[in-house]
Amino acid sequence: MLKRKIYDALLDWKRTKSRECLLVKGARQIGKTYIIEKFGMENYKHYIYLNFYKNPEHKAIFEGSLDAQEIYKKISLYLTDVHFADHDTLIFLDEIQDCPNARTALKFLAIDDRYDVIASGSLLGLHYKEMTSIPVGYERTLEMYSLDFEEFLWAVGKTEGAISALRGFFDRKEMVDAGIHQQFMALLREYLVVGGMPEVVNAFLKTNNYQEVYSTQKKIMESYQEDIKHYAAPPIRQKISDCYHSIPRQLAKEYTKFQYKVVSRDGNARRYSNCLNWLVDAGMIKMCVNVSTPQFPLVAYEKPEQFKVYGTDIGLLTSLYGYETQVALLKDTLTGPAKGGIYENLVFDMLNKRDLALNYYKNDSNTQEIEFLYAKDGCVIPIEVKSKNGATLSLNHYIAAFAPPYAYKLISGNLGVSDTKITLPLYMAMFI
């Protein structure tokens, strides 16, 4: 059983909500159904489950009147052995993107407020045009991801005490004991290859077989291809797939900015931008936008035409490179720009799952690039990523030009501090 942080967020919603349903969104197969079902079983007297993808006949419950009482009546008609108890029943509407009327009905279920309602969907952004009304003010949204690195550590047997002890080195800015450092770097390389998809992590825990891990990842990738065929318009299906599979080539460049010509020789924004939007809405990628100047608020200085694209699960991303590359990552024998791009995506994965809003900075003369920027307490904090130890000319120039309160350099080596520059082992990205 995989421990997930979002369980505490579900408890918080139950405790603090006021006439609002919960909408949990995220890519397919990241564990949404499992964790919500576990939450429902453990915290309510009655738990009612509807899945509009597996049981399309359940859409009829939300046809006609969306009055809450009428919906409850229809649920009792379509499902067997259904029981309701005021303020002690959870109704879970899974794959709600397949029933736009159910999304609209969340408003009326929230106003009624007799039973708690959680909705979940994987491709919600693709279906917003089908909604007759979005229940603004009546739903709280949570975005869920595959397991982050800390959750992966829990899964492989690291206790919260051990992780807390590691965090102590981060808080005190002390060098990590050599043996502990080597151990966590090895675990980080495992995470690079396994990633956080629950089915993949469970396969790894059960078999300790990296070939089985890769096989499971390929199966998930095939299911993503089926989603593209099922949900995307026919003219753009192949283009969506081509954009996604270009990510390894995009990240292998010295400057990892997304370029349409890498997707195809005649690629341009007009041809492919809708495809990237589809992948974002499906939760398969995230975009990180350049800024003209690294000032707060960063959003005011974004250059939307300049962006990078990252996979939202590092294990699925490395599977796109092939099994031999995964072996090289585990052995730490991979070299070249491809390794740098993979570690850049790894750090993005770790920071994104901490809900940090990220940008990057590339100056107009192309002499300086900072992989990530984020805002904290009204200041802009730079993060430079190195897959190995090495000089950080860009970060040094940045510190001299913009005088941030502190700056992070993430490397495979150990922790150190030099004036405002804090050098961290890559695995400590989970504490930023």
pLDDT at 126 over 70: no
Q: Read off the pLDDT of residues 271-313 as tens digits, 9 standing for 90 and up.
A: 998 999 999 999 999 999 999 999 999 999 999 999 999 999 9
> What is the mean predicted confidence (pLDDT) over 7-17?
98
Instruction: Answer yes or no: do 342 and 256 share one domain.
Output: yes
User: For position 130, what pLDDT does the model report?
Assistant: 52
The predicted-structure confidence for 355-378, as pLDDT tens digits, reads as follows 999 999 998 887 789 999 999 999
Among the listed residues 420, 415, 417, the one whose alpha carbon sits nearest the alpha carbon of residue 404: 420
pLDDT of res. 123: 75
Closest among 22, 201, 202 to 94, alpha carbons compared: 22
Mean pLDDT score of the chain: 95
Q: Is 170 found in the same domain as 43? A: no
Helix (H) or strand (E) holding 280: helix 269-281
Work out the average pLDDT over 16-33.
96
Q: Count of CB atoms within 10 A of residue 259's CB?
A: 13
Q: Which of 88-92, 269-273, 353-357 has the lowest mean pLDDT?
A: 269-273
* Alpha carbons 112 and 129: distance in angstroms, whole number: 26
- 120 & 220 share domain: no
Residue 114 near residue 17 (C-beta atoms within 8 A): no
Q: Kindly state whether residues 285 and 333 are assigned to the same domain.
A: yes
Q: For the chain, how many structural domains are there in total?
A: 2
Instruction: Name the phi and psi angles at 73, rounded to 5.
Output: -60, -45
Boundary (domain end) residue, out of 143, 176, 203: 143
Domain of residue 50, CATH code? 3.40.50.300
88 and 60 in a common domain: yes
Confidence grade of residue 341 (pLDDT, cut at 50, 70, 90): very high
**The domain boundary residue, chosen from 89, 123, 143:** 143
Distance from the first to the final alpha carbon of the chain = 27
Domain shared by 372 and 402, yes or no: yes
Query: Measured between alpha carbons, how far is 102 from 124 in angstroms, rounded to an integer?
Result: 12
Q: Could you tell me the two tokens for 189?
A: 């390389």
Section 74-89 average pLDDT: 96
Least confident of 131-145, 185-199, 227-241, 291-305: 131-145
- Whether residues 359 and 342 share a domain: the answer is yes
Q: Tell me, what's the pLDDT at 321?
A: 98
Is the pLDDT reported for residue 201 higher than 80?
A: yes
- The reply to whether 214 and 297 lie within a common domain is yes
**Are 158 and 286 part of one and the same domain?**
yes
Q: Residue 94: which domain range?
A: 6-143
- Residue 405 counted as domain residue: yes
Domain co-membership, 172 together with 74: no
Q: Which residues of 361-393 are buried (b: 16+ CB within 10 A; e: fewer)?
A: bbbeeeebbbbbbbbeeeebbbbbbbbeeeebe
pLDDT higher than threshold 70 for residue 65? yes
Could you tell me which of 347, 232, 360, 352 has the C-alpha nearest to residue 286? 352
What does DSSP assign to residue 118? E
CA atoms of 36 and 6, how far apart (whole Å): 9
Of 99, 123, 143, which one is at a domain's C-terminal end? 143
Instruction: pLDDT band for 135, please (50, 70, 90 cuts).
Output: confident
Q: How many CB atoms lie within 10 A of CB 146?
A: 27
pTM, entire model: 0.94
Q: Is residue 1 part of a domain?
A: no
With a pLDDT cut of 90, the percent of the chain lying above it is 91
